[in-house]
Amino acid sequence: MTDRRRFIKTLGGLAAGSALIKPTEIFASSSDSRKTSVSKGDRFILEWENFTGELKYTFAISSSARNTTPIVLTRLHWGGLVGYGEASLPPYLGETQASVNEFLKKVQTNVLSKFNDPFRIEEILSEVDAIAINNTAAKAAVDIALHDLVGKIMGQPWWKIWGFRAEDTPCTSYTIGWDASDDIVKEKTHEASWSKVLKVKLGRGDYEDRRMIRIIRENNPGTPIYIDANQGWKDKVYALDFIHWLKEQGITMIEQPMNKYDLDSHAWLTERSPLPIIADESCQRLVDIPKLKGAFHGINIKLMKCTGMREAREMVSLANALDLRLMIGCMTETSVAVSAAAQLAPKMEWADLDGNILLSNDCFTGMKLTEGKITLNDLPGIGVKPL
Ligand code: MG
């Protein structure tokens, strides 16, 4: 399937017992809104659809620019319920819709066919992780769908299952991407006036970086700004000097100033910086965290980097234990992946969960923003519904 309308229509068909994938035995009890026990006949069926996320603006970082993001949406059927998941695939991550499709076939054939109990999350996702070394977004597409499903079985959202308080969520930042046109940067700044925090992508050289900040500050003097250099600054002495200048402009946090492998330079910078320095590209998965202690003040967790909600929750605990500060981020992605990440938001000091509002064709509704603050709902699982 390639058409989203057909995807959603199919969903309606499945709920009503459509014969598209012959779900007779699986959906015998599909009228139940909640299922509390595993019966012998229950088995998993994983479906997926390629989807193109259309960006409202050209998305430019220090190394690339694009107008769309390839996405794969997943549905995990079990016991008359469906869990939604997503893989968002910005090109620099190295995954494609084709690689995700191939991976998901292996998940269905090699892993899900062996299980009939969704609560065996640890075993299922460990086996999914073992299929291949990388493919982290494909793994996240399974992880998110399984969490959504289990939350629906339990009738509770994940933020509540984990014991978090919904009111503890931070405000999200909203990203203003680089643009060559002063007028477009000005327009983007005015469009972002609702947001309590802005995020600006820098790392295009001193002139361009200062130009972006100058235009934004001329049009919005007061809103705090996070900077994401995306590894774009090449020299630690320059970076420190520039960070001092940025602090005077009301910038409050710096993400990934230099090359992700150069932990020594980051440690030097972190020791001296007047603003917190956060690892993004340097922090992919749980295993990366111990070596980042001392090199950064904190880490940016993203589900597409770390294989999903299960590992992200573990990263929160490890970061807490190591006294590393926490941020949650996202790719340009639909409300499925953003709402899954938002379940962790109560544990975060900073959040950059604007991926869904950077899309012009989001096909789900889920986590909302209330004057910029992440607002979790009480819907079970990850709290999303197809539009
Ligand atoms: Mg970043």
Query: Strand, coil or helix: what is 65?
Result: strand
DSSP states along 285-350: SGGGHHHHBTTBSEEEE-HHHHTSHHHHHHHHHHHHHTT-EEEE---S--HHHHHHHHTTGGG-SE
- Ligand 1 midpoint to CA 199 (Å): 10
Average predicted confidence (pLDDT) for the chain = 90
Encode pLDDT of 99-124 as tens digits. Answer: 999 999 999 999 999 999 999 999 99
| Structure letter (DSSP) for residue 25 | T
Q: What is the model's pLDDT at position 56?
A: 87
β strands within 133-233, DSSP E = 173-176, 197-201, 225-228
- Ligand 1 midpoint to CA 312 (Å): 16
- Ligand 1 midpoint to CA 55 (Å): 17
Encode pLDDT of 302-346 as tens digits. Answer: 999 999 999 999 999 999 999 999 999 999 999 999 999 999 999
Encode pLDDT of 1-16 as tens digits. Answer: 444 445 444 443 333 3
Stated pTM of the model: 0.89
- 343/204: higher pLDDT: 343
Q: What is the mean pLDDT of residues 351-376?
A: 96
- Ligand 1 midpoint to CA 22 (Å): 43
Give the integer Cα–Cα distance in Å for 46 and 148.
Answer: 13
pLDDT at 279 over 60: yes
All residues with CB under 5 Å from ion ligand 1 = 228, 255, 280
Q: What is the model's pLDDT at position 19?
A: 28
Encode pLDDT of 212-223 as tens digits. Answer: 999 999 999 999
